[in-house]
């Protein structure tokens, strides 16, 4: 079962999702809390770290996790410190027991990825979209509203109403009609 290891943390961090299975993966290590201890409490070993994007709140704990578990980090841009291997657009990656397609979805940050597994109906949305039609900030470096809108539209082309779980970079995961939340985000992002 996917667990948000940052749940209850009162520091500035992203969510940090532990995906156990054949390939136990941490999606975004978060920042400013002891994620290593929380991983140790749940699993014996970690196979990899995958990042949705490299904003500090998502990767602040990256080096600690890599060191503690002797694992590599995977992301869109291997020129960024800490990212060891590139995940290309539309590449298939295994998280836990399922295959996910990686979708390059810039607009919040140039190296942003979402991960979608059609079979189980799960999406890791990073900071592209959140619950209730919220969407990623575009006022930070590399942010661009028009690019973000195109990325949300692209995600909508891949997912469908069978989406069961959307795990977002901040706030609670969406398990009640998550497709509708993405559709609403596409509408809200177009409003000035």
- pLDDT for res 192: 67
CATH number at residue 177: 3.60.15.10
Q: Give the pLDDT confidence score for residue 122 in this predicted structure.
A: 98
- Contacts by residues 69-78 (CB-CB < 8 Å, ≥ 24 positions apart): 69/36, 69/39, 69/45, 71/46, 71/47, 72/48, 73/48, 73/49, 74/48, 74/49, 74/50, 75/50, 75/51, 75/111, 75/113, 76/102, 76/104, 76/111, 76/112, 76/113, 77/110, 77/111
69: containing domain: 3-189
Is the pLDDT at 79 greater than 90? The verdict is yes
Beta-carbon contacts of residue 45 (< 8 Å; ≥ 6 apart) = 24, 69
Contacts 24+ apart (CB under 8 A), 87-93: 87/50, 87/113, 93/50
Q: What's the distance, CA 36 to chain centroid?
A: 18
**Is the distance from CB of 122 to CB of 114 less than 8 angstroms?**
no
The two beta strands, 17-19 and 48-50, are: unpaired
pLDDT in tens, 122-165: 999 999 999 999 999 999 999 999 999 999 999 999 999 999 99
Q: Rounded CA gap, 90 and 113, in Å?
A: 10
- Total structural domains within the chain: 1
Q: What is the pLDDT of residues 2-56, one digit of tens each?
A: 999 999 999 999 999 999 999 999 999 999 999 999 999 999 999 999 999 999 9
What order do you get walking across the sheet with 25-27 strand by strand?
3-4, 17-19, 25-27, 48-50, 73-75, 85-86
């Amino acid at each position: 079962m996917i667990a948000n290891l940052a749940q209850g943390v009162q520091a500035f961090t992203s969510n940090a999702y532990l995906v156990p299975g054949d390939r136990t993966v941490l999606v975004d290590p978060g920042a400013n809390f002891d994620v290593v201890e929380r991983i140790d409490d749940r699993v014996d070993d970690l196979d990899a770290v995958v990042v949705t994007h490299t904003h500090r709140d998502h990767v602040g704990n990256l080096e600690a996790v890599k060191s503690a578990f002797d694992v590599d980090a995977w992301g869109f841009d291997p020129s960024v410190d800490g990212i060891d291997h590139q995940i290309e657009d539309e590449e298939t990656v295994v998280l836990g027991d399922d295959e996910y397609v990686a979708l390059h979805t810039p607009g919040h940050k140039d190296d942003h990825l979402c991960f979608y597994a059609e079979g189980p109906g799960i999406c890791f949305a990073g900071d592209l979209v959140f619950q209730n039609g919220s969407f990623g900030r575009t006022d930070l470096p590399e942010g661009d509203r028009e690019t973000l809108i195109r990325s949300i539209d692209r995600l909508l082309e891949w997912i469908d109403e069978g989406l069961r779980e959307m795990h977002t970079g901040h706030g609670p995961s969406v398990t009640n009609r998550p497709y509708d939340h993405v559709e609403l985000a596409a509408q809200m992002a177009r409003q000035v």
